[in-house]
Amino acid sequence: MKSARIIKPKEPLEVQETENSKPNGSEVLIKVQSCGVCHSDIHLWKGGYTGPNGQFMKTTDRGVKYPLTPEHEIAGIVSEMGEDAKQIFKKDEKVMVYPWVGEGLCPACKTGNENLCDHPRSIGVYNDGGYAEYVLVPNYRYLLRIPDEIEVDIAATLSCSALTAYSAVKNAEIRPDNNVVIIGTGGLGLMAIQLAKAVFGARIIAIDIDDDKLKIARNNGADEIVNSKSNNAIQEIKEITDNSGADAVIDFVNNSKTVESDMQFLRRRAKVVLVGLFWWRVETKPDIYAY
Ligand SMILES: [Zn+2]
Ligand SMILES: [Zn+2]
């Protein structure tokens, strides 16, 4: 089969001919039909990312090995199955892949949080991923059938961006009467707006620095939009919430600046959920406490 692989960081991906894996036991071979492009693929391709103090955090220091076929947002059809998987799936079934595979033995895996595994084996990060004609999934339990009404292209991205947003929304412990501020209306923010609305019915206040993106946020279910470039953004949020502040803030930008302002419109007992790879520092003491 053909795979587009990162041979060495920062060099163009190379299309290589690699052996098709034969699935055994619970393994399933998926014929890839659609893949996302995630920001973490860029980090994989660059060989790392810049940390909080400007130092470069290398992916190889965290167990990534090159050459690697990247991409973890994968959807396609079942091609071949190991004996055990044949009882669960049929050939040609439309499926999406849960890529956050753990080794199954650490405390996180044992409590069902494989995505936080101490020794991750994520597909497309530590093992070959979706930029290939086929991908080997280590167990049928990492597959989810795609309902007919959902397109494969949409389903592919759900296992990363939608899942991250869903987890953030769930951790915010939103109630229907809550004012929920969502910072950042990129892919994750838009997912969170739709989920917070559909699952919890909360009132959503979307914040961004780009009016065009805010318009899209409104079309995706945001009840109120605020451009944080405006001088009185914090005041606007206070007014929208009748001066009570936000019951929850989900911050998808998560840098020192946004986190500092998050602290200024929190209601007592409010939850703050910070999403992202990067660390933050609050330099001023917030006058309202989250808990
Ligand atoms: Zn991703
Ligand atoms: Zn584990």
Tell me: do 178 and 262 sit in the same domain. yes
Tell me: do 128 and 26 sit in the same domain. yes
- CATH number of the domain that residue 115 is part of: 3.90.180.10
User: 280 lies in a domain?
Assistant: no
What is the Å distance from ligand 2's center to 101 Cα?
Answer: 8
Domain count, the chain: 2
What is the Å distance from ligand 1's center to 177 Cα?
Answer: 31
Tell me: do 30 and 111 sit in the same domain. yes
User: 291 lies in a domain?
Assistant: no
What is the Å distance from ligand 2's center to 138 Cα?
Answer: 14
User: 167 lies in a domain?
Assistant: no
Query: What residues have a C-beta under 5 A from ligand 2, the ion?
Result: 102-103, 106, 109, 117
What is the Å distance from ligand 2's center to 102 Cα?
Answer: 5
What is the Å distance from ligand 1's center to 160 Cα?
Answer: 5
Among all bound ligands, the one having the nearest atom to the CA of 113 is: 2
- CATH number of the domain that residue 218 is part of: 3.40.50.720
Tens of pLDDT along 67-107?
A: 999 999 999 999 999 999 999 999 999 999 999 999 999 99
What is the Å distance from ligand 1's center to 162 Cα?
Answer: 10
In terms of residue numbers, what domain contains 122?
2-159
Tell me: do 10 and 113 sit in the same domain. yes
User: 208 lies in a domain?
Assistant: yes
Any idea which of 53-57, 93-97, 159-163 has the lowest mean pLDDT?
53-57
Tell me: do 8 and 147 sit in the same domain. yes
User: 131 lies in a domain?
Assistant: yes
**pTM score:** 0.84
Tell me: do 218 and 148 sit in the same domain. no
Tell me: do 126 and 217 sit in the same domain. no
Tell me: do 7 and 119 sit in the same domain. yes
What is the Å distance from ligand 2's center to 112 Cα?
Answer: 9
What is the Å distance from ligand 2's center to 92 Cα?
Answer: 31
What is the Å distance from ligand 1's center to 291 Cα?
Answer: 30
Tens of pLDDT along 180-234?
A: 999 999 989 999 999 999 988 999 999 999 999 999 999 999 999 999 988 788 8
Residue 191 one-letter amino acid: M
